[in-house]
Amino acid sequence: MPAFSELFVDKQWFVVLVILLVSILIQLVYYLFIYGRFAFYVKKTNPSATEPVSVIICARNEAENLDNYLPVWLTQDYPVYEVIVVNDCSTDDTEDVLKKYTAQYKHLRTTVIKEDKKFSHGKKLAVTIGIKAAKHERLLFTDGDCKPESNQWISLMAGNFSETTDIVLGYGGYFATRGLLNKYVRYDTLMIALQYFSMALCKIPYMGVGRNLAYKKPLFYKGKGFTRHFHLASGDDDLFVNEHANKTNTAIEFSHNSHTRTAAKDTFSKWVFQKKRHFTTNRLYKSSHKFILSLEPFSRLLFYASLIALLFSPVHRLWVLPLFVFRLLLQVFVIKKTMLRLNEKNLLLISLLFDIVSLFINFGLLMSSRIRPSNYQWK
């Protein structure tokens, strides 16, 4: 192995080496002190929840999914709750499905938004109507195409509420199917969850997902609902949390029985459309949140670029490989722990490839959403 002093002879290689060392240091900070918060977190047992809750489900043309999943929502093991389904301009058999289950379950309530060709709206209107219709203060949110993993979902999510806890962040995953796209969608969802769970544990909550989210009604009205970003089709979940979550009022729930699942997009173009819609909202995050979220992928890009460059230097090659292996082992450990906690399977090996590929995919989607913004609808 070359002498340590030889590493600093050539100024150009020295600069690249410094970039590598700084980037890997940043990566280690993220994996040890941010992502590690979630990987090593030991959650206390939630107290038994008994307060009545309202489950709000927004649905647009989800007749088949509602027919399959509503019975699971309506048979939760919880003392007092109501399920409110907001039928948002559906043109399929959603109304017939809701009538069928309304006759069977007294705690199912429905409301309808009729289509108005002169007025288009996003999901925020449906959520707002559902909140106004809710009888109870504690609200749980999901979508018409989602299925809870168990009949303990309400109990586990609601058990995190307290006098000081107003927001509960849950995990909304996707059903595992064959194909590379499904694996990438689940990997992307896993990493996003790792980010928002970890940052919430670092007392910097910045987002949640509407497929599995809970908050109190007074918080919604105190913050004037979605008025600041009502013009955007998205943001009913992440922007709301970004505005109102703080270091003392937010809790996380990630036990397997608290998850929800839905079907991932089956074509790359549909998934791209979904992701670009999300990128229209993250630009409105707080500046400190955007800095933390952008620093990690930027440092990762510098890490891979400087690593590849130094592999062409006979003097530096043997020094950079141990750094790569160390970072790789730490990454594998954290992702494996996250997979176990979020009940995701068969993603570990492919995640090493996605770690690089996601840099280019996300950058391309980000630029596309900025250069050619569109008025994305939620369905």
Q: Kind of pairing, strands 81-88 and 108-113? A: parallel
- Burial level of 191, CB count in 10 A (0-12/13-18/19+)? middle
Q: Kind of pairing, strands 172-174 and 138-143? A: unpaired
User: Residue 269 contacts by C-beta under 8 Å, 6 or more apart in sequence?
Assistant: none
Helix (H), strand (E) at residue 141? strand 138-143
Residue among 296, 294, 310 at smallest CA distance from 19: 310
Bridge partner residues of 86 (DSSP): 58, 111
Residue by residue, pLDDT tens for the chain (379 residues) are: 554 455 455 677 778 888 999 999 999 999 999 999 999 998 887 777 889 999 999 999 999 999 999 999 999 999 999 999 999 989 999 999 999 999 999 999 999 998 777 777 789 999 999 999 999 999 999 999 999 999 999 999 999 999 999 999 999 999 999 999 999 999 999 999 999 999 999 999 999 999 999 999 999 999 888 888 887 878 899 999 999 999 999 999 999 999 999 999 999 999 998 888 888 888 889 999 999 999 999 999 999 999 998 888 766 677 788 889 999 999 999 999 999 999 999 999 999 999 999 999 999 988 887 766 555 555 6
240: tokens are 């709301």
Residue among 100, 107, 85, 292 at smallest CA distance from 207: 292
Are the C-beta atoms of 132 and 48 separated by less than 8 Å? no
Are the C-beta atoms of 185 and 267 separated by less than 8 Å? no
The structural domains of the chain, ordered by start, are: 4-40+288-371 (no CATH), 53-278 (3.90.550.10)
Specify the pTM.
Answer: 0.92
